[in-house]
Chains A and B, each alone.
Chain A
Amino acid sequence: MAAPLSPVEPAPASAPAERRPKSANQAVRIGAEPSTVARRLILGIIGGIFLIPVIAMIEFTFRNGLAGDYTTSHWTGLFTEDSARTYRGLYQAIENSLVLAAVTVAIVLVLLLPTMVLVHMQFPRLKRTLEFICIIPITVPAIVLVVGLAPVYSVVVQVLGGSTWTLAFAYGITVLPYAYRAIQGNLDAIPVKTLSEAASTLGAGWLTVLWTILLPNLRRGVLAASFISIAVVLGEFTIASLLNRRNLQTALLQVSQSDPWVAVIFALAALALAFILLLIIGRLGSATPSRRKS
């Protein structure tokens, strides 16, 4: 759970520590950083824990039944017309998940971002409250959330119909803690008040201020919030399953019961996508804005 948070503010934690010269007093210092060997060992073990299942998954997709020999037919089979028909449900579920991700991101951008900017500028005293509210979802297990959401959704279905995208309302809540942290970090780093006041004395209305002044300067935080939201939504199973909706994860579970190889292939693809998103976030966190040429 903590993993997606770290790329947003990576510099203070890791960068200076690595640059610190190795000096004699280092050994004396309590809590000194581990030696190179220890560091590699830790990295190796943790990397292994991550990699072994992934490698096992990849290996599994090439297996031919239980006989122990290998085949590429599970991969090539995916691209035949036949499979397109068989896995139509799965493709539909992927589409659902992508729509959900998009709507969730939209909720974050349209609701959370302006709220945070407003609170930051106009109602700084509400900052603590907003933070508290946004962090709550991380402490509530998905199952508990569903218990509360079930009656809500019976109303939602009546009003908006039962299509899958409505699930994004629930996802909008589950991604709050991550999105909040990503945006807040960026908000704290720029002089929001001064910049927007300067813009408004120059004739900009509040919408222009938000769009042409704040958004470009909040780019990093907003992108990070969006990618984290996407990653969370693509990996979500519990809520969708318990509310009887089809998304990528529920469909994968279903497929795995008939064709475990295909399920694993799709799981790998989802994992790769999430991994790429996190890598991009990491880069965003460390790189200076690209327009800043020197």
Chain B
Amino acid sequence: MTATFTMTGPTATHTPTAGATVQLSAVVKAFSGHTALNSIDLEVAPGELVALLGPSGCGKTTALRSISGLESIDSGRIVIDGVDVADTPTNKRDIGMVFQAYSLFPHMTVLENVEFGLKMRKVAAARRRERALETLDMVGLTKHRDRFAHQLSGGQQQRVALARALVTRPRVLLLDEPLSALDAKVRVQLREEIRRLQTELGITTVFVTHDQEEALAVADRVAVMRDGRIEQIGTPEELYATPANAFVADFVGLSNRMPAELVDGQVTLHGCSLNLLGDPMPDGPVIALVRPEDIALSADGIAGTVISSSFLGSLRRTRVRLFDDTVVAIQHEVERHPLPGEAVTVRLKGAPVSALPPKVKK
């Protein structure tokens, strides 16, 4: 697949579209009493890829469908390229969308599917074919051009759907969990392809996912959603290092939950006093969220027993049961190879942590 993606390929002859800006301000959408979007503000810069990340039912799809016009909004504004699109129907918004469900037209071949958007834009047949083939080549499926959807694998179908959405060089590309029906390996492969194509073509993109790893891997910025609101928006690094609140800290990346005490606004944990991330909390018992890389195996410190240790390529993750029965994951260099049952001591590196109120248990 990757072989078709050299920069000297057909895409290089295209001048990348300068993507449009997408602005959502105070967008509200309710379904029969249930507020799916509760005043969403979001600004996506031209050519930027923003991921909407959040648990199931938090309103990601609704937000995306509102941008596409498939869902009408109750109040607020959606502005694409400086123009309020409230009165622009979906088919006039010049967007490309890839759905979670397989959505290829079953009565058309792969090529006909990809040509469809150009046909709607009244592009002449010869030019249409040429551009469709070009785009199919970008997703590496030229050889399947005469197949029908039911003759393709899930990954291939989503590739065609991507080509179909990209062929018109839309102002905005909207992706609603396009990879969730695929197996892990194809998912990683395809998300990288999506990212590469998106960067090459410079198309403003909103990518919906509930997989935090996926969001962190492909997005310029990630918007973490909960219950119809955006909790925090920032680069993957910002979200990871300085989560605005415990929900974000818990949802983005891996965290150890360790019982701790909040004293004078400082998290006190196994004798360490750590800075608290996010909003201040009242003093008292809390659950600290500690990243695996903020704990280290050390010569002395908190005693514990190794439960398991797994090799992750460039690093190793070891699970340790501490003396107080808390189980923590620790990330460390590969050279150190703890064995299950081994007695170890760990220490906190002192990085700031987020904290949950104690009643929010797992």
Residue ranges of A at the interface with B (Cβ–Cβ < 8 Å): 190-191, 194-195, 197-205, 208, 213, 216-217, 289, 291-292, 294
Pairs of residues from A and B, 9 with the lowest C-beta to C-beta distance, nearest first: A203-B120, A202-B117, A201-B97, A198-B103, A216-B107, A200-B90, A194-B103, A200-B91, A203-B91
Q: CB-CB < 8 A to B150: which residues of A?
A: 292
Interface membership of B18, Cβ < 8 A:
no
- Identify which of A204, A213, A216, A294 contacts B91 (C-beta below 8 A): A204
Query: Which partner residue on chain A sits nearest B117 by CB separation?
Result: A202
Cross-chain contact B101 with A201 (CB below 8 angstroms) = no
CB contact under 8 A between A201 and B96, given known A191-B101, A194-B101, A292-B148: yes
A195-B91 contact given A202-B117, A203-B117, CB 8 Å threshold? no
**Do residues A201 and B106 form an inter-chain contact, with CB atoms below 8 A?**
no
What string of 1s and 0s marks CB contacts (under 8 Å) between B155-167 and chain A?
0000001001100
What is B's interface to A at a CB cutoff of 8 Å? 68, 70, 89-97, 99, 101-103, 105-107, 116-117, 120-121, 148, 150-151, 161, 164-165, 168, 174
State in angstroms the CA–CA spacing of A170 and B360 once bound together.
Answer: 66
B116 partner, pick from A197, A199, A216, A292, beta carbons under 8 A: A199
Known contacts A201-B70, A201-B91, A201-B97; A217 and B120 CB within 8 A of each other: no
The residue on A at minimum CB distance from B116 is A202
A159–B326 CA distance with the chains assembled, in angstroms: 86
**A-chain residues with CB within 8 Å of residue B121 when the two chains form the complex:** 203
For residue A292, which residue of chain B has the nearest CB? Answer: B148
Instruction: Out of A191, A204, A205, A208, name the residue touching B103 (CB < 8 Å).
Output: A191
Q: Write 10 A-B pairs (CB below 8 A) sorted by A numbering.
A: A190-B106, A194-B102, A197-B103, A200-B91, A202-B116, A203-B120, A204-B120, A208-B120, A213-B105, A291-B107
Tell whether, in the assembled complex, residue B151 and residue A294 are in contact, meaning their CB atoms are under 8 Å apart.
yes
Residues of chain A within 8 A (CB-CB) of B103 are 191, 194-195, 197-198
Residues of B with C-beta under 8 A to A292: 148, 150
For A205, the chain B residues whose CB sits under 8 A away are 89, 91
In the complex, what's the smallest C-beta–C-beta distance from A221 to chain B, in angstroms? 13
CA distance A243 to B117 in the complex (A): 52
Given the complex of chains A and B, what is the CA–CA distance between A204 and B105 in angstroms? 13
Query: CA of A191 to CA of B90 in the docked complex: distance in angstroms?
Result: 19
CB of B277, distance to nearest CB on chain A (Å): 39
B168 CB contact (under 8 Å) in A197, A200, A202, A216: A202
Task: Determine the residue in chain A with the shortest Cβ distance to B151.
Answer: A294
Q: How far is the CA of A199 from the CA of B94 in the complex (A)?
A: 12
Q: Please, which residues of chain A bring their CB within 8 A of the CB of B120?
A: 202-204, 208
Measured CB to CB, the nearest residue on chain B to A201 is: B97
**A216 to B105 alpha-carbon distance, docked (Å):** 10
CB atoms of B99 and A197 under 8 A apart: yes
Chain B residue with Cβ nearest A198? B103
Chain A residue with minimal CB distance to B97?
A201
Chain A residues whose CB sits within 8 angstroms of the CB of B148 once the complex forms: 291-292
Asked if B68 contacts A289 (CB within 8 A), the reply is no
A197-B107 contact given A202-B117, A203-B117, CB 8 Å threshold:
no
Given A201-B165, A202-B165, A204-B91: 12 more A-B contacts, CB < 8 Å = A195-B106, A198-B99, A198-B161, A199-B105, A201-B90, A201-B97, A202-B117, A202-B120, A202-B168, A204-B116, A205-B89, A294-B151
Check A203 against B99 for contact (C-beta < 8 Å).
Answer: no
Alpha-carbon gap, A213 to B90, bound state (A): 16
A195 to B101, CA, bound (A): 10
Cα separation A195 to B95 with both chains bound (whole Å): 16
Cα of A203 to Cα of B68 in the assembled complex, Å: 11
CA distance A59 to B97 in the complex (A): 66
Please name the residue on chain B nearest to A215 by beta carbon. B107
**Of residues A198, A199, A201, A291, which shows the largest number of chain B Cβ atoms within 10 Å of its Cβ?**
A201
* A162 CA / B148 CA spacing, docked (Å): 51
Tell whether A195 pairs with B165 under 8 Å between CB atoms, given A201-B95, A201-B96, A203-B121.
no
For residue A288, which residue of chain B has the nearest CB? B150
Which A residues are CB-close (under 8 A) to B101?
Answer: 191, 194
